[in-house]
Structure 1
């Protein structure tokens, strides 16, 4: 009869714990292409962060709210999280439609079609940071156009996680 090392279960537990903790230390950001596949497999709410390299409040959210362990955990468990540079020149195919940055190279701070579609406000210019929360059917639940502290982000994520459940 083969003897099992008594420390084997402990070692396996520690390895599993470290792997689980490592996964929850950062947000699992998806591209729009990955989002479409994920929504088709398992419907879930969507959290989109539109940013630009020059946006100081976007950077502050990255350094504070998006590093908060509770925010990371909530986003990874209850949402599909997408992060997109609003000035990207990428061509994105989503839901069978092609989205581009029509103003790229024509004007300063040219904005891609996707943020313009999801984060435009009536009678207000497009501004960053822009955080959009959508239900699993891709309908807008909420939109934020300001710096959001970790505490406020936790409140937003908890309140919207039960809204429009599918």
Structure 2
């Protein structure tokens, strides 16, 4: 019984530590800002767009929100280097994005330049370290393509 209590207490502490020690990934949401506006922001700030395409019923999408995107290390990297955009793949603008980028799995993560051109694409659940590594690889691809 004590092992269970301390195990639960440990995970509560880790969750609390992540929530107070830094920022999570801050997303612009397609219900609040248009895709065109996000691309303009990317052009103005000379950044790539990191797009999280999700659905409300997607378990792995919710897991990413609670774990990887809540990690302060991921938040620091993504908030500094990308314009982050969260898109519900089943609402009006989301359906168009799903068609345009041929998304057929959730979650799908897309890295775009300011013209909306695909730089890299990922699908599924990613732990923090791997997502950061993929973002660094994507930045390298983007810089080499300029």
Distance 1:73 1:160, change over 3 A: same
- For 2:121, the equivalent position in structure 1 comes to 143
Asked if structure 2 preserves the Cα contact closer than 8 Å seen for 1:52 and 1:86, the reply is: yes
Unaligned runs of 5+ in 2: 1-19
Q: TM-score, normalised to structure 2's length?
A: 0.71
1:6-85, aligned counterparts within 5 Å? 25-30=23-28, 31=33, 32-85=35-88
Aligned residues: 119
Q: Deviations over 1:108-165 (max 9, x none)?
A: xxx7111221243xxxxx1111111123432212111211111211111122123222
- Specify the SS of the correspondent of 2:65: helix
| 2:126 is equivalent to residue 128 of structure 1 | no
| Aligned residues of 2:69 and 2:75 also touching (Cα < 8 A) | yes
In the aligned structure 2, how far is the partner of 1:39 from the partner of 1:144? 20
Post-superposition, which runs of at least 4 consecutive aligned residues in structure 1 deviate over 6 A? none
Match of 1:158 among 136, 139, 145: 136
Aligned to 2:97: 114
CA RMSD across the alignment? 2.0
Structure 1 gap ranges (5+): 1-21, 93-110, 121-125
CA distance in 1, matches of 2:51, 2:91: 15
Give TM-score scaled by structure 1 length.
0.64
Q: Which residue of 2 aligns with 1:3?
A: none
d(CA) in 1 for partners of 2:39, 2:114: 11
